[in-house]
Amino acid sequence: MSDERRVPWILGTHLHPAVGPLERAPTDSRVLLIEAHDFARRKRYHHHKLTIVFAGMRQFRDTLRERGYEVEYIKAETFADGLATYFDRYPDDELVQMRSPSHRSAETFESLVEDAGGALDVVQNELFVGTRKAFDEWSNATDKDPFRHETFYRWMRQQTGVLMTDDGEPVGGEWNYDSENQDFPPESWDSPPVLEPEHDELTQQTSEWIAAEFDTWGSTTDLVWPVTRAQAKRKLDHFVANRLPSFGPYQDAMRSDDWAMAHALLGSSINLGLLHPWEAVTAIEQAYHERDEIPLNSAEGVVRQLIGWREFMRHVYRHEMPQLATANQLDAGTDLPAFYWTGNTNMSCLRQTIGAVRDRGYAHHIQRLMVLANFATLWGVQPAQLNEWFHATYVDAYHWVTTPNVVEMGQYGDGVFASKPYVSSANYIDKMSDYCSDCRYDKTKDTGNRACPFNALYWDFLDRNEDKLRSNHRMGLMYSHVDSKQESGAMTEIKDRVETLRQKQRHGEL
Ligand SMILES: Cc1cc2nc3c(=O)[nH]c(=O)nc-3n(C[C@H](O)[C@H](O)[C@H](O)COP(=O)(O)OP(=O)(O)OC[C@H]3O[C@@H](n4cnc5c(N)ncnc54)[C@H](O)[C@@H]3O)c2cc1C
Ligand code: SF4
């Protein structure tokens, strides 16, 4: 087939002009985008999430047209309808699409195109730093566990040369400065400014159309997320210039009324393709070498997220699907409490975090892990239900990235890379946040009317899952406490307290 008839089909999460088939197509060539609406009706997505996807696609359409591409932009209920329209017009075209990271997406799209009477070539996704092939070759050859994040991360640092010396050693002598990422800021610390993009009429109209057309969740105003590449690049520049220095020390801290702390706020843009992760990594590395005020624990901290965790999750997902989506090694079978949707709870940490997600479709990593997923794990929520919730409510959520983060890291569903559940009592939340000081519950108590629910639930969780967790050497200390609570009879009171908490939740009083 001649190259003229090979038409790039750009998905809504591939909105980058300089990668893949689009980069290689002449600037006057035809390009296809299908705005399929049925996926937006499948769940109650956050309004801002739908806005950045649909407005992002429409903005990208206009940018490509300005650059001379002949853009076929088809609005349709389903991809099948959109493809039927396309091949009616251009029966001789072959579509070429970068592989979406979603499970079996290539097979799904291939069969849709075949049903529409056309042809599709699915090619490598160039919106990651590494490739599937390189990971698979390395993981087959290595005698280490490729699904251990630290092993993978060191390999990625060596492969990319990022923050490496000429002698092949990590800059600063250590690979990982996580232990320097766990401070809580003094009261006098003001978090750095957040850059909020100005949205044009096209984005405004798209936002209003979404509010009218779909049953959404969360705020329908005050969109703070980029929808164009120019906005995303400005957000990256602003992060590197203003926020990066304090990212490191306060990465794990949580404060009331401080939704952004010093986080990058780049996840939605990177996952839409507005920014390539490599653009972020190189900007951060360059700034680190040029500016003395950027500590290594800040630069390494973000690099670890981008070339470590983000890439790692992609490979875990593709190797562990489909079983990862339903993995539930702790046999957790409880429904997600309704307050995840309403925010109606007396627990200050959860109320404030859920409120932040309703406002912007965002909460940072530790709020996701140690508040939202922690509580759900202690409560015994079925991991797939929490995964659904995250998928619907976050601006940066896509199945390939929520599933390993929520089911495995958040809820210890499978054990493929998590070596123990990330669970804690009020202790951790109190150490890393100011939520407890303004809470109706008492962080120091396990039982009694005002005792913090996390405490009783924590001991109950360990007791309930004893046969699966006691032999884990990383849990030994915790089980020595469980033993004393069992022997003293305190565990019986804890169980009663948990029963009361469950009743309170059923009556909307937790
Ligand atoms: C329960 C749970 C659910 C999560 N759901 C998502 C999700 O739906 N989408 C998503 O992109 N990330 C998810 N994460 C990972 C991480 O929390 C977010 O990427 C991060 O909070 C995004 O905010 P930021 O851009 O300010 O990131 P920062 O914390 O400033 O990090 C910089 C960048 O690193 C990348 N990154 C960091 N950690 C991860 C990770 N664990 N997995 C993938 N990328 C990572 C992101 O691209 C992020 O923009 C989840 C984590 C947990 C524990
Ligand atoms: S006391 Fe318990 S419920 Fe309240 S904020 Fe602290 S950890 Fe959360």
Beta carbon of 254 within 6 Å of any ligand 2 atom: no
* pLDDT computed for residue 4 by the predictor: 63
Structure tokens at 132: 């599937």
Kindly give the number of the ligand 2 atom that is closest to the alpha carbon of 443.
1
**Could you tell me if 63 and 17 are in contact, meaning their C-beta atoms sit under 8 angstroms apart?**
yes
> Is any atom of ligand 1 closer than 6 Å to the C-beta of 309?
yes
Dist. CA 191–CA 258, nearest whole Å: 8
Q: How far apart are CA 140 and CA 142, in angstroms?
A: 6
Q: 263 in ligand 1 pocket by Cβ < 6 Å?
A: yes
Q: How far is the CA of 304 from the centre of ligand 1 (A)?
A: 11
Is the CB of 228 inside a 6 Å radius of any atom of ligand 2? no
Q: Is 310 in the pocket of ligand 1 (CB under 6 A)?
A: yes
How far away, in angstroms, is 102 Cα from ligand 1 center?
Answer: 17
Distances (CA, A) of 385 to 326, 402, 404: 9, 12, 14
Q: Which of 152, 401, 423 to mutate to test the pocket of ligand 1 (most atoms within 8 A of CB)?
A: 401
Determine the distance separating the centroid of ligand 1 and the alpha carbon of 313, expressed in angstroms: 10
Q: Which protein residue has the closest C-alpha to ligand 2 atom 6?
A: 436
pLDDT attached to residue 128: 98
Instruction: Look at residue 234 and tell me whether its pLDDT is greater than 80.
Output: yes
Element (H, E) at 99: none
End-to-end CA distance of the chain: 63
Expressed in angstroms and rounded, the spacing between residue 444 Cα and the centre of ligand 2 is 10
Tens of pLDDT, residues 440-460: 999 999 999 999 999 999 999
Average pLDDT, the chain: 95
Task: State whether the beta carbon of 25 lies less than 6 angstroms from ligand 2.
Answer: no
Residue nearest to atom 7 of ligand 2 (CA): 426
pLDDT category at 188 given cuts 50, 70, 90 is confident
What's the mean pLDDT in 227-256?
A: 95
Pairing relationship of beta strands 30-36 and 119-123 according to DSSP bridges: unpaired
Average pLDDT on 368-384 reads 98
- Ligand (nearest to CA of 405): 1
Angle between helices 453-464 and 476-488 (to 10 degrees): 100
396 has pLDDT over 80: yes
- Whether ligand 1 lies within 6 angstroms of the CB of 390 is answered as yes
Rounded to an integer, the average pLDDT of 182-186 is 86
> CA distances (Å), 6 to each of 96, 273, 400, in order?
6, 22, 28
CA distance 255 to 258: 5
Cβ(510) – ligand 2 distance below 6 Å: no
At residue 178, the pLDDT reads: 81
Protein residue with least CA distance to atom 18, ligand 1: 365
Percent of the chain with pLDDT over 90: 93
Ligand 2 atom nearest the C-alpha of 452 is 2
The one-character DSSP state at 11 is -
What is the C-alpha R_g of the chain?
A: 24
- Judge if the beta carbon of residue 64 lies within 6 A of ligand 2: no
Indicate whether residue 253 lines ligand 2 (CB < 6 A): no
Query: What percent of the chain shows pLDDT beyond 70?
Result: 99
Ligand 1: does its nearest atom lie under 6 Å from the Cβ of 129?
no
- Predicted confidence at residue 499, as pLDDT, reads 97
The answer to whether the CB of 397 is under 6 A from ligand 1 is: yes
Q: Is the CB of 203 under 6 A from ligand 1?
A: no
Domains and CATH numbers, the chain: 3-123 (3.40.50.620), 132-320 (1.25.40.80), 339-506 (1.10.579.10)
- Pocket flag, ligand 1, residue 267 (CB < 6 Å): yes
CA 215 to CA 314: how far, in whole Å? Answer: 30
Look at residue 242 in the predicted model and tell me its pLDDT.
95
pLDDT class of 266 with cuts at 50, 70, 90 = very high
Angle between helices 277-290 and 296-303 (to 10 degrees): 170
CA 46 to ligand 1 center in whole angstroms: 17
Q: Where are the alpha helices (DSSP H) in 181-259?
A: 201-213, 229-238, 244-247
pLDDT tens-digit series, residues 462-489: 999 999 999 998 988 999 999 999 999 9
277 within 8 A of 310, measured Cβ to Cβ: yes
Mean pLDDT for 165-171 is 94
Taking the C-alpha atoms of residue 499 and residue 494, their distance in angstroms, rounded to an integer, is 9
Query: pLDDT (tens digit, 9 = 90+) per residue, 31-66?
Result: 999 999 999 999 999 999 999 999 999 999 999 999
Going by alpha carbons, the residue nearest to atom 44 of ligand 1 is 310
The tokens of 204 are what? Answer: 């405004």
| 245-267: average pLDDT | 93
Q: Is 443 in the pocket of ligand 1 (CB under 6 A)?
A: no
DSSP string, 399-419: HHHHIIIIIIIIT--S-SS-S
Q: Is 347 in the pocket of ligand 2 (CB under 6 A)?
A: yes
Span from the CA of 349 to the centroid of ligand 2 (angstroms): 6
Q: Which of 366, 438, 439 to mutate to test ligand 2, by most ligand atoms within 8 A of the CB atom?
A: 439
pLDDT beyond 90 at 187: no
- Strands in 119-123's sheet, in edge-to-edge order, are 6-8, 94-98, 119-123
DSSP 326-342: H--TT---BPPPTHHHH
What integer is the mean pLDDT of 338-364?
Answer: 97
Distance 480 CA to ligand 2 centre (A): 24
Residue 161 pLDDT exceeds 80: yes
User: In 3-state terms, the chain is what percent helix, strand and coil (to 5)?
Assistant: 55, 10, 40
Q: What angle do CA 403, 408, 409 make, to 5 degrees?
A: 105
Going by alpha carbons, the residue nearest to atom 36 of ligand 1 is: 305
How far is ligand 2, taken at its centre, from the CA of residue 458, in Å? 12
Q: Is the CB of 439 under 6 A from ligand 2?
A: yes
Average pLDDT over residues 209-237: 97
pLDDT of residue 3: 59
- The answer to whether the CB of 381 falls within 8 A of the CB of 332 is yes
Q: Which atom in ligand 1 lies closest to the alpha carbon of residue 410?
A: 1
Residue with the smallest CA separation from ligand 2 atom 8 is 349
> Residue 2 has what pLDDT?
52
